Amino acid sequence: MRLLLIYSFLILLNCKTAQSQNKPAYQLFNAEGKKVTYRAMLDSLKNQKDIILFGEMHDNPIVHWLELEVTKDLAETKNLTLGAEMIETDNQTAVNAYLKDSLSIKEFTSSARLWVNHKTDYQPLIDFAKAKNLKFIATNIPRIYASRVYKQGFEILDSLPPTEKQFIAPLPILFEPNLPRYKEILKMMGEHGSPQLVMAQAIKDATMAHFILKNLENDHVFIHYNGSFHSDYHEGILWYLKQEAPDHKYVTITSVSQEKLETLEDSYINQADFIIVIDADMTTTY
């Protein structure tokens, strides 16, 4: 009996040691906070979805790796169109030229307005689209127009010539300032918040939704990469998508950071259909 107890103790000790040596970088949960496997999430994404909104933490390498991996795996069985907040709509010509080999990588990166982490975090997605002959859609409003809305409200957009209006969502912009996430923006900004600040957020969401729907093809899944705030709690981009196309099938993914990966913190419940929890010690890309 004593030997059996000692043996059992050694097995338990070895299990504890193995667990302490296991260092997962992330854990997946569903909206209710239950752990799910990558395969289960991927199977759900393949299940007759029209649009996937992949919400990221912009500086997190695990999220960017998963964006690419999910895209590669979906492309094995689905016709895909890719799109991103990180490329502005007036840079679509440059994107198309690069995809068709009319621009070199050097020419593309010098002609388009790209984020500081573009080379490491978004260029791999564009290169995958190029390799697989997929469309990559620039969806975000040019920052100059968002800045004008922040300073003067939606009315300033009315004076734009038609050649510039083509880069934003059709006017007038539907606007619901009482959406919880928009109200949260005002709360976070405190005395620096303003109705125009929320309008600037809304014009981004509306424009991204517009260009997603404009480029959604039959029998294709549109996977869109955006900051998580733009699609969390089924608001932002998704709110605008549903106003225009309520019958499409949507799924959202978000990413958050926690000290512990075993359970999902209550504050993140229902933040998205799938929640990527990343170790808080993970390094950032910028």
- Percent of the chain whose predicted confidence (pLDDT) is above 90: 86
- Tell whether the model's pLDDT for residue 48 goes beyond 60: yes
Q: How far apart are the first and last CA of the chain?
A: 58
Structure confidence at residue 189 (pLDDT)? 81
Average pLDDT over residues 111-120: 96
Distance, in Å, from the CA atom of 91 to the CA atom of 42, rounded to the nearest integer, reads: 31
pLDDT digits (tens, 9 = 90+) for 121-163: 999 999 999 999 999 999 999 999 999 999 999 999 999 999 9
Q: Decide if pLDDT at 16 tops 90.
A: no
Q: For position 14, what pLDDT does the model report?
A: 52
Long-range contacts of 1-9 (CB under 8 A, 24+ apart): none
pLDDT score at 21 = 65
15 to 11, 43, 87, 153: CA distances (angstroms): 6, 31, 47, 60
Q: Report pLDDT digits (tens) over 170-217.
A: 999 999 999 999 999 988 887 777 899 999 999 999 999 999 999 999
Interacting residues of 164 by C-beta distance below 8 A, sequence separation 6+: 145
Predicted confidence (pLDDT) per residue in 267-280, tens digit: 999 999 999 999 99
From the list 185, 156, 176, 161, the residue with the least C-alpha distance to 242 is 176
User: Which residues, at least 6 apart from 51, have a Cβ–Cβ distance to it below 8 Å?
Assistant: 212, 216, 221, 222, 223, 224, 241, 248, 249, 250, 251
The answer to whether 99 and 136 are in contact (CB under 8 A) is yes
Q: 88, 142 in Cβ contact below 8 A?
A: yes
**Can you give the residue ranges of every domain in the chain?**
22-279
The per-residue pLDDT for 23 is: 83
Strands laid side by side in the 26-30 sheet: 35-36, 26-30, 274-279, 250-258, 51-56, 220-227, 79-88, 136-140
3-state secondary structure of 31: coil
What is the fold, at CATH topology level, of the domain defined by 22-279?
Rossmann fold (3.40.50)
For residue 223, give the H/E element and its range: strand 220-227
pLDDT, tens only, 72-109? 999 999 999 999 999 999 999 999 999 999 999 999 99
Q: pLDDT at position 17, please?
A: 44
